[in-house]
Every structure is written in structure tokens, then in C-alpha cells.
Amino acid sequence: MSNGRLYVCSMTKVVETVRATGARSLVTILTAGASLVRPCEIARERHLRVAVSDIEAPIDGHVLPGEEHVDRLLAFIEEWDQTDPLVIHCYAGVSRSPAAAYAAACALAPHRCEFELAQELRRISPTATPNRRIVALADRRLGREGRMVAAVAAIGRGADCFEGAPFALELA
């Protein structure tokens, strides 16, 4: 597990982040119908696309993140061998991808305290505002008994921005 890092970025920084980190796995979380060309460094079988809107309650015409989406995300994460970095991105790198990275870190490092991971997320990304629905679904799936939800609530909303800066979340 030499490079078991999770990198988070926006859609505009995907190729740059994949190339700079040597990532060989990619999670794309975009609204249904949005497209992204998979970087050539990422094999098709190591690219997960999750089509959900960045919402926390139902809105007509949008796809609410559901259990099936979080189950697919966590199954993909659990299959990752952690030899090479993994990049998770959404449109702005602020809400869905930080939520997915936080969920992934909680899944892959069950010994780590949810609050410590959330505080680390805030430290490395002042703009991160993890999607609370994705976090709540992952919390339930991982049996964290509401601690993930409470930890994300404790760090509050991130600083306003148009696009978050890429960051790495350590698993150890």
C-alpha cells in the first residue's frame, strides 16, 4: 500500500490530477447526462461513473443520491488495491467528491475516528462542503451509527468558491 491516497478534484482538473499523481483508478460523480472523456491512463474497468445530482432532497428533474449509488461507490473503493492513487471528482470538487472521499476513507480505515477524518478534510480543503445525503447513506451502510453525519455537521460549510482546489486525503 505505497500510494494509497485518495485525490479529490473538479472536472476541469481530472486529467491534470490523474497525470500528476499516477492514479490508475477514477470515480466520476456527475449529473446524469454529463460527459467526461476518461483519461487514457485509466482503464475502463477502473473507472466508475455515478450519475447523481448535487442535491440532498428530491427535486424534479434531478437524480437524488440513493443507496444503490453509495453501494456501487463503496464496492468500487473496496476493490481498489491501493497500490496506485485513486482520484474522485465531481463538477466543482466541493460537495459530491469530498463526500465520496470521506465515505471511502471511513470504509478503508475503519479504525479511524470519523471526527478526526472530517477535521482532516476541513484542514486540507477549506472549501469542502460534503454532500450530507451521500455521507448519511455511507454512514448507514458502514454501520457508523450517525458519527459520520455528526462529524460532517461539526466541520460546517466550507468557504464559498466556484471550484475547489485539488487535495489528497490520507488513509493511514
Reply yes or no on whether the pLDDT at 3 is more than 70.
Answer: no
What phi and psi values does residue 148 have, to the nearest 5 degrees? -65, -45
Residue 1, pLDDT above cutoff 70: no
> Which pLDDT score is estimated for 2?
41
76-112: string of b/e by CB count within 10 Å (b at 16+)? bbeebebebbbbbbbbbbbbbbbbbbbbbbbbbbeee
Phi, psi of 8 (to 5 degrees): -125, 135
In the chain, domain spans: 5-159
Output the average pLDDT for the chain: 96
Give the cell for residue 34. 454529463
Q: Where are the alpha helices (DSSP H) in the chain?
A: 14-21, 67-79, 96-108, 114-124, 132-142, 147-155
Which pTM does this prediction carry? 0.96
Q: How far is 76 from 55, CA to CA, in rounded Å?
A: 22
Residue 139 has pLDDT above 60, yes or no: yes
Q: What tens digit of pLDDT does each residue of 104-123 get?
A: 999 999 999 999 999 999 99
The share of the chain scoring above pLDDT 70, in percent, equals 98
**What confidence score (pLDDT) does residue 12 get?**
97
Query: Of 105, 97, 114, nearest to 149 (Cα)?
Result: 114
Give which of 171, 117, 123, 125 is closest to 149, Cα–Cα. 117
What is 5-159's CATH number, 3.90.190.10, 3.30.40.10, 3.90.1150.10, 1.10.1060.10? 3.90.190.10
pLDDT digits (tens, 9 = 90+) for 33-82: 898 889 999 999 999 999 999 999 999 999 999 999 999 999 999 999 99
24-38: average pLDDT: 93
Radius of gyration of the chain (CA): 14
